[in-house]
Structure 1
Amino acid sequence: MELSPREREKSVQELQILYGEKRDAIQTRLNEFKQVLNRNDDDVFAELCFCLLTPQSSAKTCWAAVSRLKERSLLLKGEASEIQPQLNDVRFGDSKARYIVEARATFSKDGKLFLKSHLSSFANLFELREWMVENVRGLGYKEASHFLRNVGLGEEFAILDRHILRNLKRLDVISEVPVSITKKRYLEIEEKLRGFSREIRIPLADLDLLFWSRETGWIFK
């Protein structure tokens, strides 16, 4: 049901008030993301693996799985058959274990990761996202945007997960929550969210974490 102008104004005001309460925590988190590329390739690759695991699984569960893989030295050296048992609480663990191994091969040469240098080779971040979607199996636009945001490169991208889409529907930014999203539809909704962000004067990256925290009660990844 479409909101009346008064109802929409009230909803936007409530969102702006909530942002005022959470702005410092959100911006602290975003600044932490911007520091990730100052760390080593192993840490950046861990962020990529986290985003490969997230489809239809909770962020908390996925980061716990990545942490287990790191502790057991499987993230950088494990075969899919060794990784999969550590993903028992992640949906589609068999496929995602293979995605991790394939991604590691994509960004490795002579046994060393070069993910950071690959990311820095793109002057245009939209072209980088396209490359990631086309060349990293398991990454769609949501996951690629999520990864780039988590390494400080995705401030202009929307991470259109179910939390965000529900909020966009609630605010009449979109008329319905799509069951599935094509590339065309993803980019259309992303542009609508970008426009809404400008309208209410909350930066896009901040708005994503604000919606996420409103749905989950916390600010995470």
Structure 2
Amino acid sequence: MAGNSSTLSSRLNEADSLTALIRSVYSEAKPLVTKRVQEFEAFPKQDLAKLFSELSFCVLTANWSAQGGIKTQNAIGNGFISLPYEELEENLRKVGHRFAPQRARFIVENRQKADMLFDIIQYPTKEARFYLVKNFKGIGWKEASHFLRNIGLLDVAILDKHILRLMHYYHMISELPKGWTQKRYETYEQLLVPISQETDMPLGEMDLYLWYAVKNTVDK
């Protein structure tokens, strides 16, 4: 497995399962994870500008990076819902986004349905994810899961390439998917449920421990 560092290689060598890997970093990562989970659970869901900013963050991180998305979100803040297309694209270029014109266009188009977010996040989480994917540009199954987790709905898995590589390394999946359907995403997600139960934490929190194992940090 392509690792982030020798630290990851060492962790993988010492842990014979995904559960063991999580437990190996638990004490070290717990303060960071706890802080982040508390931030998710305190998210102001009644604030449309902040909801839309978080949705836009997830649009930006697809095929880019969480750190890049955080940097952009810090720079633009609530401007995602109001900046003219040209200014938004310029801001994305300034932070080095790989797909600035496309993502700026997605975000501007998503504004037309921004009010739907209030209703969508009231649905059961998997139903909410379905409606996010169907209604918003640049939001696939992973991005929708990411958004829901970041606003405090922790019963979803964020199946990014790092998590999938870990699942492959531990023979939980036979291949890395080249694309997602709802059925495929939910099938892969379900494979993580026993690990979630063994470690006594929701999928969205467990993801942060796995992220720490790979990256030695906790983003969002």
TM interval, short-chain normalised: 0.7 to 0.9
Contact persistence 2:22–2:213 (CA under 8 A): no
CA RMSD between the two structures: 2.3
In structure 2, relative to structure 1, the CA distance for the partners of 1:151 and 1:208 (3 Å cut) is same
Which has the higher mean CA deviation after the structures are superposed, 172-181 or 85-94? Answer: 172-181
Aligned positions, number: 206
1:98-136 CA deviation, whole Å, 9 max, x = no partner?
A: 11112222124xxxxx74x324542x2211111111011
Residue 90 in 1 paired to residue 97 in 2? yes
Q: Percent identity?
A: 34
> Would the alpha carbon gap of residues 170 and 13 (structure 1) be closer, same or farther in structure 2, given more than 3 Å must change?
same
What amino acid does structure 1 have at the position aligned with 2:216?
Answer: G
d(CA) in 2 for partners of 1:207 and 1:160? 12
Find the counterpart in structure 1 of residue 16 from structure 2. Answer: 10
CA shift digits 1:40-79 (9 cap, x unpaired): 3222221111001111111111121222223xx7423222
Higher relative contact order (Cα pairs below 8 Å, separated by 6+ residues): 2
- Is the CA contact 2:45–2:51 (under 8 Å) kept in the aligned structure 1? no
Q: How does 1:118-137 map to 2 (within 5 A)?
A: 118-122=119-123, 124-137=124-137
| CA–CA distance in structure 2, aligned partners of residues 78 and 128 of structure 1 | 27
- TM-score, with normalisation over the residues of structure 2? 0.83
In structure 2, distance between residues paired with 1:165 and 1:13: 17
8 Å CA contact retained: 1:37, 1:152:
no
Give the match for residue 149 of structure 1.
149
Equivalent runs, 1:1-221 vs 2, <5 Å: 10-11=16-17, 12-37=19-44, 40-70=47-77, 74-88=79-93, 89-108=96-115, 115=117, 117-122=118-123, 124-153=124-153, 155-221=154-220
| Mapped partners of 1:13, 1:131: distance in 2 | 35
Which SS does the other structure have where 2:162 is aligned? Answer: helix
Identify unmatched segments of 5+ residues in structure 2.
2-12
- TM-score, length-normalised on structure 1? 0.83
